[in-house]
Amino acid sequence: MAFFEGLSKIISETGTTAVNKTKEVTEIARLNGAIATEEKVIKEAYAEIGRRYAEKYASEPEEAFADQIAIILEANEKIENYRRNIEDVKGTTICPNCGREVERNKSFCGNCGAKLPQANRESSVPENTEE
């Protein structure tokens, strides 16, 4: 009889331990989620600080930030080049007046009617302007 009582007690304790373990795991997961949320808030605030600083001081950054500003300016330049490459592939350009994407060989923007710069019409048949 004592054996069965002891066994019953062990099973019961094991069950309680398992329930506690599940609660513990759930609580830890919840807290880790809360930490991740706050870490994201901090990361976004840091990014915002950096963005504001770069906007304000990109032309003359303090020495401590100069290397990071240079990285941003270089990456922006690359993005501009990639965008131009996309325009080359598509045979389009951006209207300087309205910002809409327009066909490169057009003289006027189809959206706002602004005259498009000649220099952007590289994909048209080249004129014989060699000297």
Site residues (vs Zn ion, CB under 5 A): 95, 97-98, 109, 111-112, 114
Rounded distance, CA 120 to CA 84, Å?
11
Contact 81, 63 (CB under 8 A): no
- In the bound state with Zn ion, the residue whose beta carbon lies nearer, of 43 and 115, is 115
- Write down the least CB distance from residue 108 to Zn ion, Å: 8
- Write down the least CB distance from residue 89 to Zn ion, Å: 21
- In the bound state with Zn ion, the residue whose beta carbon lies nearer, of 33 and 117, is 117
Chain centroid to Cα 113, Å, comes to: 34
- In the bound state with Zn ion, the residue whose beta carbon lies nearer, of 22 and 97, is 97
Residue 105's closest CA among 114, 89, 96, 116? 116
- Write down the least CB distance from residue 128 to Zn ion, Å: 29
- The DSSP secondary structure of 48-113, one letter per residue, reads HHHHHHHHHHTTS--HHHHHHHHHHHHHHHHHHHHHHHHHHHHTEEE-TTT--EEETT-SB-TTT-
- In the bound state with Zn ion, the residue whose beta carbon lies nearer, of 73 and 114, is 114
- Write down the least CB distance from residue 86 to Zn ion, Å: 18
